[in-house]
Chains A and B, each alone.
Chain A
Amino acid sequence: MNSSRKNWIESHPDLIIPTVLATITLILCLYINVHYLEQIPHVQDSVNNLFQARLFTQGKLYVKTPDFPDFFVPELLVYKHGRMNAHYPFVFPSLMALGVLFGAPWAVNPFIGAVSIFWLYYFGRRFYNWRVGLAGAILLISSPFFQCLTASMMSHATGLLLSLGGAYFALKALTHFRYRDTFFSAVFFGLLFNTRPLTAVAFVLVTSLFYLGHLRVSGFSFWKHFLVFSIVIILFTGLFFYYNFLLSGKMMKFVSPVPAFDQLPAGKSAAPHSGILNRFVKSLREIGVFGAHYSFATGLSNVKVLLGLFQVTALNWPKWLNFAWFLIPFSFLNRRKTDYYLLALFFSVPAAYVIYARSAIMYGPRYLYEIMPFFILLTVRGLEQTVVFAGSVNAWLPGIRKCPRIIPEILLPAVLYCGMGYLVYGNVHQFWIEQRLPAGRSTTFGMVQRIRSLKGFNGVKAYVPTFLEQNGVHNALVFIRCTKWWGYGSVALENGIHFDTDIVYARDRGLNNDLKVIRAYPERNYYLVDYQRKKLFRIIPVGASGEPELEEIAVYKPRK
């Protein structure tokens, strides 16, 4: 047994490094999720995806809308014609459903992040060399943007993994001309379409163009590969529309309730106005593509902001160094097809989001998150090229031909990689250790610049269930008083999907309005939690004055 294990390890030496890196990622992101994010969703999208995941585990796509939806339906959940469901595509909720089955939906993204790191190492190693794979994986782990989104319950971590998978197989297909690689590439991009549709459209277009670029390459049957690619993509696109049909009753009717703060300024619509296309575009408008408030100028301005945020968030290095190396591979003649492909993937997503009017920012410029692995691989490749080019100067600079090979081959890479290591250290130090924010920098734009900012991120705190437990609240209807979404959003999922749990939570809409919900739950005790002031009140439906009254019971004190 020992001998066979030893042989296995000896035959797979490359498994050790990525496994160690993936394990570090898993532990790190689980720690962030448990310690800082308190194992609950912090963004409406996450609440909805988790809600849908719970529906999936019970074999449902939607559930009956509860009575009094104003009090019970979490923000952004769709409720129409008596049905309630999340409007997002099905892949991420399906993965979350696995987490729900195992009782740990919060562990899904850390696990996906670990697999992404593993794969990134292999990506770099396969198409460049082990140094690029290793440095790329380390850079990605060290990125606060990656840590935040991988620890969170957003769909972007899944998007990143699927993007990486799609690009990996596409490059393999373009290198080895194997149909199975083309097939798997299309499967990954198809799944991505059912996770982050616009990102997938950008990647599929770029990949198709690269296939087209091989039209005249001998040994590569372009049409057959393209046919395989197209059929699979069409199947997954069909699945996307079919799922939409199951939810909304119409293939082309997308439903996306968007709160007012996500709206962009007025501008002219770019949508055409005729026939089927018009109906489709009208539907697209509802989900933000060519939206009612869209104009090319706003789209471009948004992308400018997203790229600006990406520049400072992606690696968290000094501003000018973040993008310093990723164009270096193109400075010289030894650039490769892989470099161009990764560069095209990198730029395709910002280009695609020019047509999208609702580029929201959360944990950073999340709409660009899926380009992270390509950006990082190009950055490391650029650093590698710097080493190679600087180390080759003895061929054309006078007086140094007798120089020992150890200098370009060991000393120079050591100096440059140590420089990169220093940047990574600075980044980790700043994000994890340094506690004082420099003047003028904060968590504006939903960006996280210090790990401690994740505590109560986006206003969401997990204290309410503990608070109620401390005060022995059972068989209760508890109203949450908060002017923002996160008050009720932090506990909405505690209601389950049928709103019949021991403690049922509802939004407070003013005591007089709350009375109608109270009447619908006659056997319960009634409480109100002031979310911001952390106070618990008992509701007396008919007080001394004949009006409903509040009686203060307790103020929340966190357990030490």
Chain B
Amino acid sequence: MHASRKTLIYVTCFHVVILVIWLYSGTGARSHLTILHKNETVSISFGGKQIVELKDSHDFSGKIGINFLGTGNPPLCYAPQAVDNVIVSDPETGRVLFEDTFDGGMHNWGVFRGKCSVTSDSRLSTPGSGTLITRKSFPADYRLDMDIYNGANLDVYCGYKNPNQYFLFNFTIWRELVMGVFRVTNGNRVFLQGHSLVENPAESLKVILARFIRSYAAGLLVLILSIIFYYLICLIVSLFLRKRNKVEA
């Protein structure tokens, strides 16, 4: 195959398009979650849209936590699920009570179970399952914001006092994303409310594109490795033949 101008133009254009799609999809699908508790009312927003509002008079004060439910459905994520930009603020004044972008690791959190780590792009993640609880407690009324990446399959704890007393916001993917709000009292889980969630179409599209583009990159890598392999073999053979010709001459 001769690398004509036409070939070069096509190959360049094709891969520029691939690169653009890669850059577009590369950050992963992000969903913003907000849990607001004020005057015994909990409201939950997902992707900027309020989905649940419920009244509950039980004490909401305590720590917050994140429980990664593991990779029981790995095909849904093209990158590990992760959490970032956890902010707890006062709903009245907006004063930030707690902020963690995971730039400095997980020192604000205690690992309760499993293995969690901070990724190279400063996101909290785990290859399997794991539970983290903040070291700090919060008053009853607060607003919790966080970004969830690549398919939420996790629990968020609020008002966590001990393993038997907390509020649980469960996000599970079963073909589509569903969430349930539970209250755990004396170890008994009481279902309060549930809702189906719909991801932003743009985020779904990102995931779809990323699947193909990243796999294509893997194919391209095999191609490059094949070229290197072939080049090295041929180079060795050429050198061998040259040496033999020289000896014969």
Contact = CB atoms under 8 A, between A and B. Distances in A.
A444 B218 CA distance: 27
A324 B217 CA distance: 7
Nearest to A293: B196
B218 A361 contact: no
Contact of B72 (A296, A308, A327, A444): A444
B215 A399 contact: no
6 contacts: A265-B198, A323-B216, A400-B235, A407-B233, A408-B230, A415-B229
Contact of B198 (A301, A399, A441): A301
B219 A386 contact: yes
Given A312-B75, A321-B218, A323-B219, 4 more contacts: A330-B14, A333-B11, A389-B227, A390-B229
A314 to B, nearest CB: 11
B204 A320 contact: no
A304 B2 contact: no
B6 A333 contact: yes
A324 B215 contact: yes
B72 A400 contact: no
Contacts of B3: 395-396
A295 B196 CA distance: 13
Interface string A282-319: 00000000000001111011111101110111000001
Nearest to B225: A390
B72 A305 contact: no
A271 interface: no
B220 A331 contact: yes
Contacts of B7: 332-333
Main secondary structure of the interface of B (DSSP, over half): helix
B96 interface: no
A267 B198 contact: yes
Nearest to B29: A304
A422 interface: no
B1 A328 contact: no
Contacts of A445: 73, 75, 174-175
A399 B238 contact: yes
Interface string B51-92: 000000000000000000011111111100000000000000
Interface in A345-396: 350, 359, 361, 382, 386-396
Q: How large is the interface on A (under 10, 10 to 19, 20 to 34, 35 or more residues)?
A: 35 or more
A389 B1 contact: yes
A327 B211 contact: no
Contacts of A295: 198
Interface in A402-423: 402-404, 407-408, 411-412, 415-416, 419
B14 to A, nearest CB: 6
A324 B78 CA distance: 14
B237 A404 contact: yes
Contacts of A325: 219, 222
B211 to A, nearest CB: 6
Interface in A422-458: 439-442, 444-445
A307 B220 contact: no
Contacts of B15: 331
B41 interface: no
A304 B208 contact: yes
B19 interface: no
Contact of A393 (B73, B218, B227): B227
Nearest to A396: B3
B72 to A, nearest CB: 6
B185 interface: no
Contacts of A399: 235, 238
Contact of B178 (A265, A400, A412): A265
B196 A265 contact: yes
B168 interface: no
Given A265-B197, A334-B1, A390-B227, A305 B175 contact: yes
